Amino acid sequence: MKGRPASFGVVCLLLFALTAIPLEAQTADSFPSGAAQGRTSINGSRPAANIPFINLDIRQPQSNQEVAFSIQLLLLLTILSIAPSLLILTTSFLRISIVLDFIKRALSLQQVPPTQVLNGIALFLSLFIMWPTFTQIYDSSFKPLADGQIGIEEAYTQAEGPIRMFMYRQMSADTSNIALFMSMAKLDKPQTLADVPTRVLIPAFILHELTVAFKIGILLYIPFIIVDMVVASILMSMGMIMLPPVQISMPFKLILFILVDGWGLLTQQLFNSFL
């Protein structure tokens, strides 16, 4: 028993030696005698790669045009940073997202559909509704600016027009919010849309969209509240006071929502509300 480990070690040593012989021969064939040694060196005389050099030095402006360009660039970066908020608050996204959240709460759903899914639905519905406005902005503002036909200021003016018209069209039946913000800004009563500044039109539009969305939410809640009341009355008459009515009424509300084609009806009514 004591000699077995020693003999095992000898056998392993012989196997290692036999394996190393072919490897050494293969190495000799791959790298014949007289070949250059493998090494890495950097040649300082070789020209540098063709990579552009970026200079971020800050210097004093040489002319008034450079000052104006720097201010325009700063304003452009500011607008890009608040672009998501502008898209949310000046388009149909605000009303649609609030209504979808109302329908989720009215159905007593906690996790389904997730908030990201609702935001995605609101985003693509907003793109569908706002597509004519975005197309008009592209044709009158972005494309001429890219072709060099107009400047940045004129492009901003051309892009502002379709958005202002969309916001004003939603408030054409009720201009009370515009009058409210005009009075708070201590401005005269406007006679036309051109008399309403954008800084007044945007908050008036936001307030109007919140009001409309809450009105739609109340109308959505009414049939589902009736279902909750009926289920709660039945449970109380049966003596099941400890059983939460929401757990029993939720399947019935889902059945009602599916039978009336809730998603299609809701989408169609939301689309018609912007016409």
**What does the domain layout of the chain look like in residue ranges?**
82-218
Dihedral of the alpha carbons of 16, 19, 21, 23, in degrees to the nearest 10: -120
Q: Assess whether pLDDT exceeds 70 at residue 224.
A: yes
User: What is the spatial distance between Cα 250 and Cα 107, in angstroms, rounded to a whole number?
Assistant: 6
Local structure of residue 59 (DSSP, 8 states): -
What single DSSP character describes residue 238? T
Task: Give the pLDDT confidence of 237-271 residue by residue, as tens digits.
Answer: 888 878 788 888 888 999 999 999 999 999 999 99
Nearest CA-CA partner of 158 in 147, 143, 171, 148: 143
State how far the Cα of 200 lies from the Cα of 83, in Å rounded to an integer: 18
**Which one is predicted more confidently, 113 or 54?**
113
With 80 as the cut, is the pLDDT of residue 183 above it? Answer: yes
Cα(19)–Cα(149) distance, integer angstroms: 77
Mean pLDDT, residues 223-237 taken together: 89
As a whole number of angstroms, the distance between CA 194 and CA 204 comes to 15
pLDDT band at 110 (very low <50, low <70, confident <90, very high): confident
Q: Is the pTM of this model over 0.95?
A: no
Q: What is the DSSP string of 9-50?
A: HHHHHHHHHHHHHHHHHHHHHHS-TTPPPP-----TTSPPPS
Maximum mean pLDDT: which of 125-129, 160-164, 247-251? 125-129
Query: Taking the chain, what is the end-to-end CA distance rounded to the nearest angstrom?
Result: 97
- CB atoms under 10 Å from CB of 227, counted, come to 20
Average pLDDT score, the chain: 79
Q: What's the one-letter identity of residue 17? A: A
8 A C-beta contact, residue 270 and residue 257:
no
